Structure 1
Amino acid sequence: MSRERLQALREELARQGVQAFLVPRGDEYQNEYVPASDERLAWLTNFTGSAGMALVSMEHAALFVDGRYTLQAQQQIGDQPIDQEDLNQDAIADWLCDQLKTGEALGYDPRLHTEPGLALLHKRLGERDIALRPLDDNPIDAVWTDRPATPCGPARPHPYTFTGEHSADKRRRIAALLADKRADALWLPNPEVCAWLFNIRGSDVPHLPVALASALLYRDGSATLYLAKEAVGDALIEHLDNEVSIVSDKRELFAAARRHHVAKVWVDPLITNCWTLQQLRALDIELLQERDPIIAAKARKNAVELAGTRAAHERDGAALCEFLAELPGAVAAATPDNSFGELKAVQLLRSKREQREGFSDDSFDTISGYGPNGAVVHYRVSRESSLPIKPEGIYLVDSGAQYPDGTTDVTRTVALGSFPHLAKEHFTRVLKGHIAIATLRFPIGTCGEQIDAFARRALWDQGLDYAHGTGHGVGSFLSVHEGPQRIGKAGTGVPLQAGMIVSNEPGFYLTGQYGIRIENLVFVKESAEHYGFLEFEELTLAPIDRTLIEPALLSEGERKWLNDYHRRVRETLMPLVNENTQRWLKDVTEPLPL
């Protein structure tokens, strides 16, 4: 199928007068998760990962992915005429310089890219006299004959009982920053920042409870909000009050800027697309290009949000435990005519979560990897790829849920019987890294990249590592991957601050055999013992498989941490699970000898 699609795309590129085209994995809002109507990369290449870029020239095509998706991309590309490359800007520029000649042009959709994201290409291609040309119409849309419609479900108020701060108070708090910058307005480029500022949620994007929206916030705290007409109901209008005007055409935001005599707009160039900047510049509006202040504000959860996420994690932990308790029996009961595989495991876990109060959706597609599929870091199971799960080997499940009071994300790796000899050492070294982060105390001002090595040291001691970050930020009934905070090798310059939620998920992957990852969500809090220091507190509640632990590799302090954690898991979840899971929970949380 991709051969025909590539050919149709090349014909459209010729019609639009360009010799190559960029196909990012994203939408005009720079969302990580995108509606089906914006899955252009998957439509063209079959690759369904959350990050990637395809380049199509008149003779060749290539898919660029990072280390998380190397194996997945190989599997999904298959025998298509698409090369696979490492995702970095220099490699993309090199490929294009090899493919294009002086005087030719690379086309791109300005709604799907940011100026910083294209900066290196501008420089490298410009040196070769190759044009980088914005296109009015996306050529994929012209040949994607059965492209789904853009979603526009209802936007709904998100109550104060979950947010802990009224929208009007948030707007005034953020608007006060505009005066300090001598800016007249702040551009809100995507649904997440709009959802937080206006206390609204929706269902337009898979796994992300938002309505497709963008907005302008003015210095006096009033705002103009874009939402599709179908998204707006009486409850929403009443919720927003008369300080927020709603428009149903995105171009009306720019007309509103003119009506409000906006001369200077604060825009975040990292999340604002090129097309928007073009529209603002056409109005002779000065652009203050700095990080969006809402991103930092929503990352620091208030007391109501933290209480909500604790409650959500208790319900979610109970659901996960009921799944883990039933998993061995489901595997053992399978027959050749009625097998139990990775896909059925996803369905079983989903059914457990659906029984919990407030469940809205999975927070991402569950990673359900048995044996070799567990070694594919961001594996997405399908009917075609689903392996039958047997009463042996290792199974990895990375999953999460959206509840109105919190967003969850948890990974557990479990043994289902006999397993490879080395797995015990690998698992224990991953656990040591997990505990090293969980127990860390660090001074205020410390960034995630400064503590990442603590998670990797036990693996590094044996010449081992993993090709993904150690931790990402998490929203409050928003994105399961939220910035600006993260823990990883790459520098962020963003200090961890009290109230931030972050994952703790070291791992190890042995290609063709198994994957290991242990992930809890934690939040940052002030240290009670040392002024000026911060530490983490666990949110996730689920047992860590003791059968995969080599106790001799753990220090007394590490064994004590695990025993204390398991005692808290047992005491908190016992009243919330069924009798079978209570028996299982008591057994799997027995303490290790100190």
Structure 2
Amino acid sequence: MSQENLQALQRALVEQQVQGFLVPRCDEYQNEYVPAADERLAWLTGFDGSAGLAALAHTHTALFVDGRYTLQAQQQIGDQPIEQQSLATADIANWLCNALESGDTLGFDPRLHTEPGLAPLKQRLNEQGIELRALDTNPIDQIWPDRPAPPSGAALPHPQIFTGEDSQSKRQRIAEELKQRQQQALWLANPEVCAWLFNIRGSDIPHLPVALSMGFLYQDGSATLYLAADANSEALQKHLGSDIEVVHDKDSLFSAAERQHAQSVWADPQLTNCWTLQQLRARDIQIQFSRDPITAAKARKNATELEGSRAAHVRDGAALCEFLAALPEAVIQQNFGEMEAVQLLRSKREQREGFTDDSFDSISGYRSNGAIVHYRVTPESSLPMAAEGIYLIDSGGQYPDGTTDVTRTVALGAPSESARDHFTRVLKGHIAIATLKFPAGTCGEQIDAFARKSLWDAGLDYAHGTGHGVGSFLSVHEGPQRIGKVTTNVALEAGMIVSNEPGFYLTGEYGIRIENLIFVKEREGFPGFLEFEDLTLAPIDRQLINADLLSDAELLWLNDYHDKVRTTLANAVDEHTRDWLTEATAPITKE
């Protein structure tokens, strides 16, 4: 079917008088997760990973994916006439410059791209005499006969018992920054910033509890908010108050900004799509490009949000422990594999108060599949599990008081000494981050090496970041903070939640990752210094630990952490799991 779709798109491009077209995996909000109506890349190529781009040029087509999805893309492309390439700007540009000719035009949907994202490509194409042109309509939308309708679920008030601050207070706080920057309005580019600013949530996007929305915030704290008509309600209007004008047509947003005499607008270039910039410029509105202040504000969780996250992690930890306790018995049953494990864990979470959704598609990898960093199990790929080998489960839940993300690696049989060595080195890196004390102003890239040192000592490493930010009943991947090799120049600040997830992957054999969520807090008694506190509650598999590789301080941390897990969760789990917890968290000593 995808090959027919490809041919239909090639014919549509001829009608639009362009010789090429870009098909990114995103929506107009630049969301990581997108509604079904925006899965154009999957419709065209069959590839449904979370990151990728297809490029068409005359009769040639290429799919660009990163290393996480190399194998998946090969499987899903099948025998279609689609080349597979690396998802790097230089590689995309090189392919297009070879496939197109001087005088050709490459079309793109301006709602699906940002100017910074296109800038390097535009420069290369210009050098080759190739025009990059924004199209008025996306040709895929014209030829996709059964395209799902855009979602328009209800936008719901998110109570202050979870947010810790009302919307008016937040709006006034951000409006003060507008005044300081001498900007009349702030462009609210996506549902996440709107969700935080207006204290609303929704269900329009899988795993991301938001309503599709965008808008403007003005200097006086008032705002114009776009929502689908079906998303609005009397209860929502009462929650928003008279200072918020709700519109149901995106063009009306810009007319509202004109009525507010917004002659200059602050916009985040990384979040704002090209179409929005076209609308602003057409109205002679000046644009100041800078990082959205809400991004940093929502990253710093207040006391209520942190307390909510603690509570959510207790319930989530109880669910995960009941799953881990049931796993050994489950794997000896027939027809139990990676997919059934995901379903079992989901059933445990669904029993917990407030659970609304997984925070992402669970990564359930047994043996060789665990070595694929962002493996996503399907009925076709699901390996049957047995009482041997190593299993990795990376999963999380969405609760109104918090978002969780946790990875545990477990031995289903007696592990090899090399596996125990690899696991313990990953654990040493995990403990190094968990126990780190650091001065205020330290960025994630400055501490990343602590997580890798023990692996580096053995000539080993892992190819992903060590940590990402996490939202409060929002995205499980939230910026601007992160821990990794890539330079961010973003300091870690008190209240930020990040993951701590070093790993190691032996191709064809197993994957190892130990992930807890932690948050940054001030170090008591040491002004100007910060430290981390763990949120995640789940045992770390004792079978895989070589205690002789741990220092006394590392062993003390591990035993203290396990004691905390056992005492916190003992009354939150069933009797079988309570007995399992006692054994799984028993103190470890050196031989």
Q: TM-score when scaled to structure 2?
A: 0.98
| More displaced stretch, 192-201 vs 464-473 | 464-473
**What residue number does 1:342 align with?**
338
Pairing of 1:396-545 with structure 2 (within 5 A): 396-545=392-541
Which stretch shows the higher mean deviation, 136-145 or 163-172?
A: 136-145
| 1:120 equivalent in alignment to 2:120 | yes
Q: Specify the alignment match of 2:550 in structure 1.
A: 554
SS in 2 for 1:194: helix
Look up the match of 2:275. 275
Aligned AA for 1:448? Answer: G
1:227-266 equivalences in 2 (<5 Å): 227-266=227-266
In structure 2, runs of 5+ residues without a counterpart are: none
Between the two proteins, the alignment pairs up a number of residues equal to: 590
Taking the aligned partners of 1:388 and 1:453, their CA distance within structure 2 comes to 36
Deviation at 1:515, TM superposition (A): 0.9
Partners of 1:88 and 1:159 lie apart in 2 by 42
Q: Give the AA of the match of 2:94.
A: D
Which runs of structure 2 are paired with 1:191-340 in the superposition (5 Å)? 191-332=191-332, 334-335=333-334, 339-340=335-336
Give the whole-Å Cα distance in 1 for the aligned partners of 2:416 and 2:6: 43
Quick check: 2:426–2:455 contact (8 Å CA) kept in 1? yes
Aligned residue type for 1:572: T
Q: Provide the rounded CA distance (Å) in 2 between the counterparts of 1:561 and 1:140.
A: 54
Q: What one-letter code is carried by the residue in structure 2 that aligns with 1:208?
A: L
Shift of 1:552: 1.7
Who is 1:573 aligned against? 569
By how many angstroms is 1:543 displaced? 0.4
Give the secondary structure class of the aligned counterpart of 2:295: helix
Contact 2:158 2:200 (8 Å CA) reproduced: yes
How far 1:503 sits from its partner (Å)? 0.3
**Equivalent-residue separation in structure 2 for 1:586 and 1:138 (angstroms):** 58
Are the equivalent residues in 1 in contact too, given 2:415–2:543 (CA < 8 A)?
A: no
Residue deviations 1:373-400, cap 9 Å, x none? 1111111111111111111101110000
Q: Secondary structure at the match of 2:183?
A: coil
Matched, 1:374 2:370: yes
Match of 2:407, SS? strand
Aligned position for 1:3: 3
| Offset of residue 327 of structure 1 | 0.6
* Corresponding residue for residue 61 of structure 1: 61
Cα distance in 1 for residues equivalent to 2:464 and 2:70: 12
1:420 to partner: Cα distance: 4.5
The verdict on how the C-alpha distance between 1:72 and 1:430 changes in structure 2, with shifts beyond 3 A counting, is farther
Q: CA deviation at 1:21?
A: 1.1
Report what 1:42 is aligned to. 42
How far is 1:235 from its partner?
0.7
Identity %: 70
Q: Is there any run of 5+ residues in structure 1 with no aligned partner, and where?
A: none
3-state secondary structure, aligned to 1:485: strand
C-alpha separation between the residues in 2 aligned to 1:529 and 1:480?
32
* 1:82 is the counterpart of 2:48: no
The alignment partner of 2:110 has SS state of coil
Give 1:462 deviation, angstroms.
Answer: 1.9
Letter in 1 for 2:158: H
Once the two structures are superposed, what CA deviation does each residue of 1:536-594 show, in whole Å capped at 9, x if it has no partner? 10000000001011112211111111111000000000010000000100001111115
| 8 Å CA contact retained: 2:58, 2:100 | no
Q: What residue number does 1:156 align with? A: 156
Question: Per-residue displacement from partner, 1:50-98 (whole Å, max 9, x unpaired)?
Answer: 2221112223222222232233323333333222222211111111111
Q: Which moved more, 1:60-69 or 1:552-561?
A: 60-69
Partner SS, residue 140 of structure 2? helix
The answer (yes or no) to whether the contact 1:68–1:467 under 8 Å persists in 2 is no
Amino acid in structure 2 at the alignment position of 1:184: Q
- Distance (whole Å) between structure 2 residues aligned to residue 48 and residue 397 of structure 1: 21
Q: Secondary structure, in 3 states, of the residue corresponding to 1:76?
A: helix
Question: How many angstroms apart in 1 are the aligned matches of 2:21 and 2:51?
Answer: 17
Matching residue of 2:177: 177
- What is the match of residue 26 of structure 1? 26
State which drifts further: 378-387 or 250-259: 378-387
**Residue 111 of structure 1 aligns to a residue in which SS?**
helix
Counterparts of 2:84 and 2:435 in 1: how far apart (Å)?
40
Q: Take 2:429 and 2:213, find their aligned partners in 1: how far apart are those partners?
A: 40
Distance 1:381 1:431 in 2: 25
Corresponding residue for 1:93?
Answer: 93
Report the alpha carbon displacement of residue 7 of structure 1 after superposing the two structures with TM: 1.2
1:421 positional shift: 4.4
CA contact (8 A) 2:3 2:45 kept: no
SS of alignment partner, residue 308 of structure 1: helix
User: Which amino acid is the alignment partner of residue 21 of structure 1?
Assistant: F
Alpha-carbon distance in 1 for matches of 2:81, 2:542: 46
Q: Give the match for residue 12 of structure 1.
A: 12
Post-superposition Cα deviations, 1:518-548, rounded to whole Å, max 9, x if no partner, equal: 1000000011142211111000000000101
Tell me which moved more, 484-493 or 50-59.
Answer: 50-59
Matched AA of 2:130: I
SS in 2 for 1:422: helix
**Which amino acid in 2 is paired with 1:439?**
T
- What secondary structure sits across from 1:535 in the alignment? strand
Work out the CA distance in 2 between the residues paired with 1:529 and 1:384: 55
Q: Point out the more displaced range, 461-470 or 442-451.
A: 461-470
Counterpart in the other structure of 2:384: 388
Q: Distance in 2 between matches of 1:465 and 1:77?
A: 30
Question: Deviating runs (4+, > 4 A) in structure 1?
Answer: none
**Contact 2:68–2:375 (Cα < 8 Å) also in 1:** no
Could you tell me whether the CA contact under 8 Å between 2:178 and 2:185 is conserved in 1?
Answer: yes
Give me the whole-angstrom Cα distance separating, in 1, the residues matched to 2:137 and 2:416: 53
Q: Are the counterparts in 2 of residues 72 and 378 from structure 1 also a CA contact under 8 Å?
A: no
CA contact (8 A) 2:403 2:471 kept: yes
CA contact (8 A) 1:67 1:468 kept: no
Structure 1 length-normalised TM = 0.98
SS at match of 1:451: helix
Q: Which stretch shifts more, 460-469 or 123-132?
A: 460-469
Matched, 1:590 2:586: yes
Q: Which amino acid aligns with 1:537?
A: E
Deviations, residues 138-159 of structure 1 (Å, cap 9, x unaligned): 1222222211110000001000
Q: Is the 8 A contact 1:217 1:224 kept in 2?
A: yes
Q: Please, what is the CA RMSD of the aligned residues?
A: 1.1
